[in-house]
Structure 1
Amino acid sequence: MVNPFQAFRAYAAPQREIPLDRILAQRDHTLQQLLQSYQAFVEEESQQLVWVVEQGALSRAYTTAVDMLKGIDFAVEDVEDMCMELDGTAAPLASLGAPSGLFIAAMCNQSEERDITLNLRSMSRRWPFLGYRLPRGRRLFLEGDVGDFVGALLEGGEVTVAGNAGNYAGIGMKDGHLQIGYSSGKHTGEGMRGGILEIKGRITELGKVKDGIIYEGDQQVFPPRPEITSAKASSSKRKTT
């Protein structure tokens, strides 16, 4: 009996590259580039832990992070992948939250996307400095709780947190809009020079605010409205009489 497929015995179908495979391979390559840049950045900055509280050193460290991101073509998805990668590793350098948060902030500010959403709900770490120096025209949506210094030195961008914030929320804000969906910690608005800071829940402690507008719930707490100040004064007077 003649095999009807005899003529096709030597036929080999051309190998096709599935687009998804190519995309995943590219994303894996990008993630490796980001991790290498992060590793170099955090190894340098871990030697100078004092930069966490010194603005000049913080600015220098941020500039270093931006420089290390140059030449890496990353997408908004890579930012969240980077968060997950750092959250899932037990490496000692990854536990340095401040440098890690600053590196993530630099990625958000350098991304081609103007709107970025990061889902932080499943992550164990609470990154500080998210939204640091976010410029005008960019919006950052953070789903879940965040660490200290969220929206620090905000430069006109919009940061929305669907969760709680740590201490020093909005520290040194220059302009822009920072909204915390629940509560914030101590020193909220410390050194704030402009912009709008909204805390939908409770403010544990207000910092030394210079300028700008701060709300706690629906009430403007800085600068205090005249009618609120008068009401408090009247209430205090009644208590003393």
Structure 2
Amino acid sequence: MVPLPNQLEDIIKGVAMDILDAEEAIKLYEVIGNHKDTLIKDNFENLFAVLQVALLKNTILAINKIYETPKKTYPLRSLPAAVKILKDNCNKFKIEQREQLEQKLTNWGLDKKCFISLSDLELTNIVAEALNTKLPSKEEIKNIKEVRDKQVAHHELIDKEKSSIMWSHLDDLLARAKKIVGVIGNHYIGSFYEINDGEYVLSYDASITSLSLMRLLKKAGIVN
């Protein structure tokens, strides 16, 4: 049987890739939306509208995978599955960088004075409970598809303003996922996903393709 720390690491690595996929798609979508008028003027609206719809679907698929509820029949690489492993096996995990973890919990509104006398097992139980509150409700996840259907019903270019409600919802879900991955990665599996007071390390990687798209549009003379 695979050791629990290895199971947890495998899940977090899988979720991190889904976060990367979603964030990459969002950044590409925004580049297209920010240059909507120019793309329409140069008769590229059909191409980039189809790309936007595909990027949105990819984002929604990735976020649904991130928050999928664990099944008894087969294992999932999702945050609810990761939190459940941590919660059910508090005695099996050693906390790394404990002082920084306590500070994170304090930033979330918990009293740091209560942590001093706690064992790793007891503190991990508190961490699992705190992470569980960061997970979205079933209704919030259900709303993703509804928002998609209302905001992008047809293949037409969507600018940033018109899609602001949808993206604020998706951005919030991604921000929560990054926080959870940061806590579990940094403090339970020894993989640093979060640095410098909350900076998510893979966000730069997610921006590489959108920066490449901008260079391509400039080189083609489509945008300045």
Mark yes or no: TM-score above 0.5.
no
* Structure having the larger proportion of residues in strand: 1
Between Structure 1 and Structure 2, whose CA radius of gyration is higher? Answer: 1
* Structure having the larger proportion of residues in helix: 2
Larger RCO (CA under 8 A, 6+ residues apart): 2
Name the TM-score, length of structure 2 as normaliser: 0.28
Name the TM-score, length of structure 1 as normaliser: 0.27
